[in-house]
Amino acid sequence: MTKAISPLLPIVYSKEVAAAKVRGAPIVALESTIITHGMPFPGNLEMARSVETIIREQGAVPATIAVIDGILHIGLEDAQIAALAQMTGVMKLSRADIAFALAERRSGATTVAATMIAASRAGISVFATGGIGGVHRGAEESLDISADLEELARTPVIVVSAGPKAILDIPKTLEFLETRGVPVVTYDSEEFPAFWSRNSGLRSPLSLSSPAAIANFQRMREQLGIEGGLLIANPVPEEYEIPREEMEIYIGRALASAEREEVTGKDVTPFLLDNIFHLTAGRSLKTNVALVENNARLAAEIAVAMND
């Protein structure tokens, strides 16, 4: 039997990220599933570009992460982002299959879980997204719980979100995070947000109101030898929010369609988001873009504070 030689990790940094690493400049990781599976073209491309601009304006460097032809890219050039935004049939990669895409030289977009793994490997400790995956409604039956939650428990990256996507069971998602020892910190509010809405009706487990305090909290966890990430919930700006009562109607309809069409596994989240986009005549997308931009701004401020 011939012994397999371990392959080297095929990792490439964009010019901008490579230079930032040399200078020790603050870097913010960005996921790519939100581009390929979370939003329709061209809104997805506009969002991908605007979050990068916002991060630069705050004095940090954006690193959009994706697997392209078997190479793990930490930071994409603009043409690569544009190509990704229009690609169809791209894999949606999580902890279970990111190495598969690399080994098999495939292309794939990274979810929150896979982006955390890649960011941590690249020495990046802050990451901005829209909403994390979580415990799905009806998980008692389906056992559908996003790998994002387990990743938060083990990988030391600060994830800035607008809360778990409201299509999920938010109370159960919070219970799971508590059990796994993941701190959930709402930014500048005591009320836990619900993605498109500023309020979930639940109180936030923790709350902090400055980027410096968030950076300090994560450093203190490191000092204690606690592994794992930190979930920041950043409520969507008021002018873009869709009230919870209204969202619940669309979510109910989308969930009913998913059940009727027997959608399962990785397809559930993209299916629901697309359905809600149509049910709200595109309004949910405007809110989604606004909240990702808002999260990118806060993530950049935290990355800058981590460097102080």
Tokens of 224: 């204690």
266 counts as catalytic: no
| Rounded Cα gap, residues 29 and 17, in angstroms | 10
- 144 known ligand binder: yes
172 counts as catalytic: no
Closest CB to Mn ion among residues 150, 246? 150
Q: Is 169 in the site for Mn ion (CB under 5 A)?
A: no
| Residue 111 binding target from Mn ion, ligand PSU, none, CB below 5 to 8 Å by type | ligand PSU
| Residue 306 binding target from Mn ion, ligand PSU, none, CB below 5 to 8 Å by type | none
Tokens of 220: 């203190």
Catalytic entry in 31, 52, 151, 241: 31
| Residue 131 binding target from Mn ion, ligand PSU, none, CB below 5 to 8 Å by type | ligand PSU
- 112 known ligand binder: yes
Q: In the complex, which residues of this chain contact ligand PSU (CB under 6 A)?
A: 31, 33-34, 37-38, 111-112, 129-131, 133, 146-148, 165, 266, 269, 273, 288
Instruction: Please tell me whether the peptide bond between 164 and the residue prior to it is cis, using omega within 30 degrees of 0.
Output: no
| DSSP per residue, 137-192 | TTHHHH--B-HHHHHHHHS--EEEESSB-TTB-HHHHHHHHHHTT--EEEET-SEE
| Rounded Cα gap, residues 296 and 273, in angstroms | 20
**Integer Rg of the chain from CA:** 18
Q: Is 144 in the site for Mn ion (CB under 5 A)?
A: yes
Residues annotated as part of the active site: 31, 165
Interaction site with Mn ion (CB under 5 A): 144
Residues making up the binding site: 92, 112, 144, 146-148
